[in-house]
Structure 1
Amino acid sequence: MRVTQSMMANSLLQHISDGYSKLADYQNQLSTGKKITKPSDDPVVATMGIAYRTDVSHVEQYQKNVTTAQKWMDSADSALSDVNDVLQRVRELTVEASNGTYTSDQRAAAQAEVNQLTQQLVTIGNTQVGGQYIFSGSDSANPLLTSTSGTVTANTTALSNPDVSLDVNDGIKMSINVPPDAVFTANGSNGLFDDLASLQTTLTTGSSSDISAYLSKIDTHLDAVSSAQADLGAKENRMTMISNRLSDMKTTATKVMSDNEDADYAETIVNLNQQQNVYNASLSVGARVIQQSLVDYLK
């Protein structure tokens, strides 16, 4: 086959163009830090990248749920500590008021303080995190307790739906709240607020022995608070382990995604320099291959 000057020139220009395209690709990799800038650059890398990004997003959503759970648990733990302090103070007042030497005025003062402490328990029971009532079970949009003319009532919807659960990992759903009936039970003969209301009445009308009889009831409520704190502590410990596991999973998934998509700077710089040398050589060879024309002689 006869090779013409035109064929040689066209072939040379095609190779120069291909080399220049590769040069542009390496420059894009260095400027963007990515192996590809569009799926057509490498469909396999692009497809795998979508899967790896899904994995990372998956883990990040679980991490957001865990963060929400930890906020609820930390707030609940602090609130339960406050409840314990309030009940300890109620117990102190009950012990003091059960003393036979206490006058009616002193017992009235104790009753007034117990009343204020009861209202403080209502405030604690309606603790909010991010606009949600953390002791109202799944009815977190509404407060658990309502105090009207000294009578405390509970949200019946909250009592009927006491659990709040979140997905914190694949196949793992955890309850993140303290059930409303674990500590703040307003209904029933053994309810916390029923006992406090009865105690207030007894402080003004009962005898010393009647008042001291409430110590065992207060101790029962203190035990309930301790039990709720222990259960919450166990949940917090497990949530911490889940959080650490998710952090490890995200690190691994991010590394795999980076290995798939990110350009190796050192390797890319070497490839760019090599391609630059090839491109310069192709231009030099082209100057020799393309023959001079008559116009060149006339210059």
Structure 2
Amino acid sequence: MRVTPGMTADNALYNLQQGRSKLDQLQEQIASGSVINRPSDDPISTRQILAMQNGVTEGDQYLSNIEKGNIWLNITNTALTGMSSIMAQVKTIASNMISTSTDANMIANATTNLTQLKNQLIDLGNTQIGNQYVFGGFDNSTAPFDASGVFSGTDDPMKVDIARNSSVAINITGGDLLRGGTPAVGAGSGATAGTRPADIIDSIDKLIAAITSSSAADIVDGVKNMKASADQIAAAQSTVAGNMMRLDNAKTMIVNNQNTLKNIISSKQNVDYAKAATELSQQQTAFEAALSATAKISRLSLLDYI
């Protein structure tokens, strides 16, 4: 096969262009700090990096949800702790009145204290975060409990997404917590005394009435109802604690997953400067040598052989 001067020139030009392109690529990588500066540099790795970056962004959203959920649950837990303390006092008063139900001064003090404690329960039932009622469900137009303890909120669970197809409830429904359900179930008596779900508000009202009328049997029922009521609040605290633990575990998993993805992205995307600098020096030398050789070859002609 005959190699013409034109073919030699074209081949030399092609090699120079390839060398220049590789040199430019190395310089761009060092300047940008990224191995991949456009999809065409490495289509497969680009797709993988984009997928992993989407995973990191998705994780950021879940972490934001978890942070908001933790705030809600912490406020809820604080309110429930206050309710638990109130119920302990209510139980003590109720137990003391079993043996002193006819003492006028004890009756007056007990009914006054129970009324105040019930009002405190209602106040805690109207706990807010900003303009949102913790125990009101999705209805935040008014306080979920009025002065007498009537519940007007919703009993819908409020959930936050912590992963794909996974969510956690962050609220305790007020109607279930203080009224035993929606509508309110009413205080238990006789065989139903001390059973759950318990209508805490109505049970306290019935206990006050029993103490005022010195009805020993009704006071005994009231003591049973107070224990069931305290257990109901303790169960709600346990639920909140479990949900908080689940959020914390999800947060740890998301953070670990994000760190793994970021490390993989870094290994694929970030330039190894020592390696790149060495390759740049080698490529620069090779390119300059190619330029010199091409310049010498391009001067040759038939006259050089005459």
TM-score normalised over the length of structure 2 = 0.75
Deviation at 1:256, TM superposition (A): 2.9
Please tell me whether residue 270 in structure 1 is matched to residue 269 in structure 2. no
Partner of 1:64: 64
* CA deviation map 1:249-269 (0-9, x unaligned): 223333333333333333222
Q: What is the one-letter code of the residue matched to 1:128?
A: Q
Deviation at 1:144, TM superposition (A): 5.9
**In structure 1, C-alpha distance between the alignment counterparts of 2:17 and 2:136, rounded to whole Å:** 70
Deviation at 1:121, TM superposition (A): 1.6
Q: What is the one-letter code of the residue matched to 1:189?
A: G
Partner of 2:231: 223
* CA deviation map 1:168-205 (0-9, x unaligned): 223323333323344221723122111223334455x3
1:261 is matched with which residue: 240, 265, 269? Answer: 269
CA RMSD, 1 decimal: 3.4
**In structure 2, C-alpha distance between the alignment counterparts of 1:140 and 1:52, rounded to whole Å:** 39
Deviation at 1:153, TM superposition (A): 1.0
**In structure 1, C-alpha distance between the alignment counterparts of 2:101 and 2:185, rounded to whole Å:** 33
Decide whether the 8 Å contact of 2:102 with 2:214 is kept in 1.
no
Deviation at 1:223, TM superposition (A): 0.9
Partner of 1:237: 245
Decide whether the 8 Å contact of 2:151 with 2:175 is kept in 1.
no
Partner of 2:195: none
Partner of 1:167: 161
Decide whether the 8 Å contact of 1:182 with 1:228 is kept in 2.
no
Return closer, same or farther for 1:281/1:218 CA change in 2, 3 Å cut-off. same
Please tell me whether residue 153 in structure 1 is matched to residue 160 in structure 2. no
Decide whether the 8 Å contact of 1:136 with 1:142 is kept in 2.
no
The total of aligned residue pairs comes to 283
Deviation at 1:208, TM superposition (A): 7.4
Return closer, same or farther for 1:31/1:107 CA change in 2, 3 Å cut-off. farther
Partner of 1:119: 119
Q: What is the one-letter code of the residue matched to 1:207?
A: S
**In structure 2, C-alpha distance between the alignment counterparts of 1:70 and 1:260, rounded to whole Å:** 35
**In structure 2, C-alpha distance between the alignment counterparts of 1:101 and 1:168, rounded to whole Å:** 53
**In structure 2, C-alpha distance between the alignment counterparts of 1:32 and 1:140, rounded to whole Å:** 52
Deviation larger for 18-27 or 187-196: 18-27
1:207 is matched with which residue: 197, 210, 214? Answer: 214
**In structure 1, C-alpha distance between the alignment counterparts of 2:140 and 2:279, rounded to whole Å:** 60
**In structure 2, C-alpha distance between the alignment counterparts of 1:278 and 1:284, rounded to whole Å:** 10
Q: What is the one-letter code of the residue matched to 1:48?
A: Q
Deviation at 1:34, TM superposition (A): 1.6
Deviation at 1:140, TM superposition (A): 5.3
Decide whether the 8 Å contact of 1:36 with 1:261 is kept in 2.
yes
Unaligned runs of 5+ in 2: 188-198, 300-306
Q: What is the one-letter code of the residue matched to 1:145?
A: P
Partner of 2:5: 3
**In structure 2, C-alpha distance between the alignment counterparts of 1:281 and 1:229, rounded to whole Å:** 78
**In structure 1, C-alpha distance between the alignment counterparts of 2:123 and 2:278, rounded to whole Å:** 67
Aligned sequence identity (%): 23
**Could you say what secondary structure the match of 1:152 adopts?**
coil
**In structure 2, C-alpha distance between the alignment counterparts of 1:43 and 1:153, rounded to whole Å:** 63
**Could you say what secondary structure the match of 2:161 adopts?**
strand
Q: What is the one-letter code of the residue matched to 2:154?
A: A
